[in-house]
Structure formats: C-alpha cells, structure tokens
Amino acid sequence: MKRLVIIEDQTAIREMLVEILRMDKNYLLVGESGDGQGALNLCLEVKPDLLVLDAKLPGLNGVDLLRRLMKQLPGARVLVFSGHENPVLVREMLEVGAHGFVEKTAGLIEFKKGLETVANGGTYFGPAVAALLRDVVANPGSSNSSDFLTDREREILQLVAESHSTKEIAAKLDISVKTVDNHRTNLMRKLNLHDVASLTRYAVEIGLITPRKPL
C-alpha cells in the first residue's frame, strides 16, 4: 500500500480526490494540503511514497515545491494533475522530478491510470500532455524566455503576479526591499515587460499562477 499525499489548492477537487482515493485499497492517504509551503512541511513530516501534485499553488508553486522535495525525498513518486499543460510548465515539472503529468480535462479514469502507472514505477502522460511533448520533440528549436530566469526571479515573479507588495515580498523571502527591486528590474529587462500587469499576464502564460476569475 502506497502512502499518499494530495496537494491541490482547489478545495472541491482536493476533497473529491480524497474521497476517491480513500476507497482504493492500493493507497493509504496520509495527508492533504492546499498551499505550497504547507505541503512542503507536511511531506517532510510524513514522508509519503506517492504525491498527487497540482502545478499551481499559492505561495510556493509546484515547480519550486517539487524541486525542494526531491532533494529531501528522492524516492517519492510524483503525478502532476493540473489544469495547465503548456510546454514550459510540463518540461519544468519533469526536470525537477515528476514521473507523470495528467491534465485535469482528461478526466478521472485517465487520472487513475496515471496514478497507478506512476505508483508502480512507470511514467505516464495524459493525451494532451503527450501531444505537447510530441510537438516539442518535433520542434526542438522552440524555446521560452522563462528559460533564462533564475529560481529567485521566478519566486519574485510569482509573488508580484499574486499582488504582493515589495515589502511583503522582501519579508516572505527574507531579503531586502532593494534586492526585490533589483530582481524586479532584471525581470522586466529580461522579459521586455514594463509593468506589473504585463508580468502578471506572463506568469499566467507560463503556468506560475492561475488567472483570477472576473467578479
């Protein structure tokens, strides 16, 4: 029986997955979380064999969370279950340790097949993700400017896009306000973007955050 943690910020989806997987004798649910930092602390405490991970999480996104977890729990198996499957996000999740990636639009049958495959040591991709990967292989020259961002720049980009102020970002990352400003300036220069709205749209495009729903 695989010890499982579910990391998903949308409460309804997380609760649905919990109910489904609690009834499966192949898995023992040992925890759930709806935010990146909480998920990191939880996983380091319970040391699961298997993770179901959303790529979009508040505070600490899925890529950065998985990068940190894999250093501490290198034997854990990871299935990404995400509503966002752009090529940059898929590649980054695989690079930091994911063993499978299923898009939420694929449905629960596809999700369960993916989870079983990953839990048993295999690799699995949903149909939309598999098509993306085939396209990347067919067009290896394609790239994205996010390739040139440092880990710190990505953290700050996400926090800026989540509407945190410079002082709040500095406090969260335990760095100076001047350092945050320098990183923000570098981000805008690298990406050729000149305001917070443009940075936010870019963060949505590459899968760092989920777009806000209109009121």
CA–chain centroid gap for 183, Å, is 22
Using CA atoms, how far residue 109 sits from 139, 149, 169, in Å, is 30, 36, 40
Residue 123 pLDDT level (bands cut at 50, 70, 90): very high
Residue 151: which CATH number? Answer: 1.10.10.10
Quick one: pLDDT at residue 198?
A: 79
Residues 74 and 112 grouped into a single domain: yes
Residue 145, pLDDT above cutoff 50: no
Share of the chain above pLDDT 70, in %: 91
Sheet hosting strand 77-82, strand order edge to edge: 27-33, 2-7, 50-53, 77-82, 100-103, 124-125
Give the CATH number, domain containing residue 81.
3.40.50.2300
Which domain-ending residue is among 138, 170, 185?
A: 138
Which has more confidence, 75 or 145? 75
Q: What average pLDDT does range 23-41 have in this prediction?
A: 94
Residue 108 lies inside a defined structural domain of this protein: yes
Predicted pLDDT of residue 192: 72
Q: Does one domain contain both 85 and 127? A: yes
Residue 9 has pLDDT above 50, yes or no: yes
Whether residue 25 is found in the same domain as residue 107? yes
Please say which residue of 138, 160, 186 terminates a domain: 138
Residue 85 counted as domain residue: yes
With tokens 């898009």, the residue in question is: 103
Residue 8 lies in a domain: yes
Q: Which of 130, 95, 92 is nearest to 110 (CA)?
A: 130
Residue 13 lies in a domain: yes
Is the per-residue pLDDT at 142 higher than 50?
A: no
Q: What is the per-residue pLDDT across 65-97, written as a single tens digit (0 to 9) for each? A: 999 999 999 999 999 999 877 777 888 888 889
Mean pLDDT of 181-186: 86
Least confident range from 119-123, 175-179, 196-200: namely 196-200
CA atoms of 3 and 69, how far apart (whole Å): 16
In which domain, by residue range, is 190 found?
145-205
**Per-residue confidence (pLDDT) for residue 139, from 0 to 100:** 55
Q: Are residues 40 and 92 in the same domain?
A: yes
- How many domains does the chain contain in total? 2
Global model pTM greater than 0.85: no
Q: Residue 185: which pLDDT band, with cuts at 50, 70 and 90? A: confident
